[in-house]
């Protein structure tokens, strides 16, 4: 039992009972938003307490059976005790998962943004590869993927792009990917086929629920409309359907051109702006920058969180956890759980290699 673990559970149990008493008050629903928030908090607390109770019962059962089997020298009881121990391990893994994703917005949908960095056309192609990697990862998780904005590169790839990942714990998992990603490979854009290094940055924000009020004054937002870029020919959009919102006090800019309707682009742009402003305000309240914010440096050498090497050897290595694998193609196809889970669990190993 980790130090303080049982006491933390008892605090959760006490808080859930307190909310239960509050909910029985006749004026509980006079503030609908507050009532729903408290009931949501109560449900989450009860889920965590129930998980702990199941694990504790499994531990007691396994311990009692093992002691009984040792005293009676009964092989059948020893086998049963081992089965209870295996069940206990599953309960502990569930508790670890819940601890790993216990942040205030970890259950929320995510907004993922990818931007190319140093490296020119090579970096823009790398940004497109990352965009595909994260959409594939999201699809593997069973989340819905909705493209938001995409600015194509001048020759290949993308300059920047964003999408919504909608599903339970989408933000909780994807927040681990914030930072700079470095690619080393033989460039397909170099006639001499020389090895090139390129960079792209990934940012992840929670999609803020509509019941969270973000006060944005219209006078503080400049709204520009323009003609969205397209593939050319008949697909050229001949109307000013693209929308750009600039929040003047913070300098935050959100552009949206994925939809053919200006109204839809405007609506999605406002949604992302609200999420970015909420994220901005949350960071301002922090006394010390957390690891995610510390990772957001220049999109260049020395600032990456993970390296993807395709030449002269093949290796993906997370520089924060030490997790590495030679299965580069699998990673680029969305096999990210070993990296993400290690980071969220706080793993730091220099000798950890994912099986090849």
| Tens digit of each residue's pLDDT (9 = 90 or more) over 159-173 | 999 999 999 889 999
Residue position matching structure tokens 């990917």: 177
Residue 352: the pLDDT is: 53
The domains of the chain, with CATH numbers, are 5-100 (1.20.58.410), 110-208+288-344 (3.30.70.1660), 218-285 (3.30.160.20)
Q: Which residues contact 80 (CB under 8 A, 6 or more apart)?
A: 65, 69
The three-state secondary structure class of 280 is helix
Residue 111: the pLDDT is: 94
Which whole-number Å values give the CA distances from 347 to 20, 26, 50, 266, 334, in the listed order? 37, 48, 26, 41, 21
| Tens digit of each residue's pLDDT (9 = 90 or more) over 139-154 | 999 999 999 889 888 8
Please tell me the pTM assigned to this model: 0.65
Tokens at 187, concatenated: 């460039």
Residue 354: the pLDDT is: 58
Confidence band, pLDDT 50/70/90 cuts, at residue 353:
low
Tokens at 39, concatenated: 């009931």
33-52 burial: b if 16+ Cβ within 10 Å, else e: eebeebeeebeebbebbebb
Residue 6: the pLDDT is: 53
Q: Which residues contact 341 (CB under 8 A, 6 or more apart)?
A: 100
Tokens at 148, concatenated: 């938001």
Confidence band, pLDDT 50/70/90 cuts, at residue 340:
very high
Q: How many CB atoms sit inside 10 A of residue 160's CB?
A: 19
């Amino acid at each position: 039992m980790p130090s303080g673990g049982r006491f933390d559970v008892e605090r959760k149990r006490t808080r859930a009972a307190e909310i239960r008493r509050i909910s029985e008050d006749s004026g509980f629903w006079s503030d609908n938003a507050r009532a729903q928030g408290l009931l949501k908090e109560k449900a989450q607390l009860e889920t965590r307490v129930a998980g702990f109770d199941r694990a504790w019962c499994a531990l007691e059962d396994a311990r009692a059976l093992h002691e009984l089997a040792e005293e009676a020298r009964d092989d059948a009881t020893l086998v049963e005790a081992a089965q209870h121990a295996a069940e206990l391990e599953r309960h502990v893994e569930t508790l670890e998962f819940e601890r790993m994703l216990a942040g205030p917005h970890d259950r929320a949908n995510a907004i993922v943004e990818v931007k190319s960095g140093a490296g020119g056309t090579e970096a823009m192609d790398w940004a497109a590869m990352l965009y595909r990697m994260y959409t594939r990862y999201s699809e593997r998780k069973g989340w819905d993927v909705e493209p938001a904005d995409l600015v194509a590169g001048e020759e290949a790839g993308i300059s920047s792009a964003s999408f919504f990942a909608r599903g339970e714990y989408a933000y909780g998992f994807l927040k681990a990917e914030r930072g700079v990603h470095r690619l080393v490979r033989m460039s397909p854009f170099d006639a001499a086929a020389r090895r090139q290094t390129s960079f792209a940055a990934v940012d992840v924000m929670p999609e803020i629920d509509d019941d969270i009020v973000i006060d944005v004054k219209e006078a503080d937002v400049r709204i520009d409309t323009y003609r969205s870029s397209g593939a050319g020919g008949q697909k050229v959009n001949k109307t000013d359907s693209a929308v750009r919102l600039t929040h003047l006090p913070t300098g935050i800019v959100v552009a949206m051109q994925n939809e053919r309707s200006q109204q839809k682009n405007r609506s999605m742009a406002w949604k992302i702006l609200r999420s970015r402003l909420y994220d901005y305000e949350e960071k301002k309240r922090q006394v010390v920058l957390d690891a995610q914010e510390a990772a957001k440096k220049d999109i260049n050498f020395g600032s990456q969180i993970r390296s993807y090497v395709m030449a002269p050897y093949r290796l993906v290595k997370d520089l924060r956890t030490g997790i590495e694998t030679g299965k580069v193609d699998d990673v680029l196809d969305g096999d990210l759980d070993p990296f993400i889970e290690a980071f969220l669990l706080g793993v730091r190993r220099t000798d950890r290699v994912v099986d090849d």
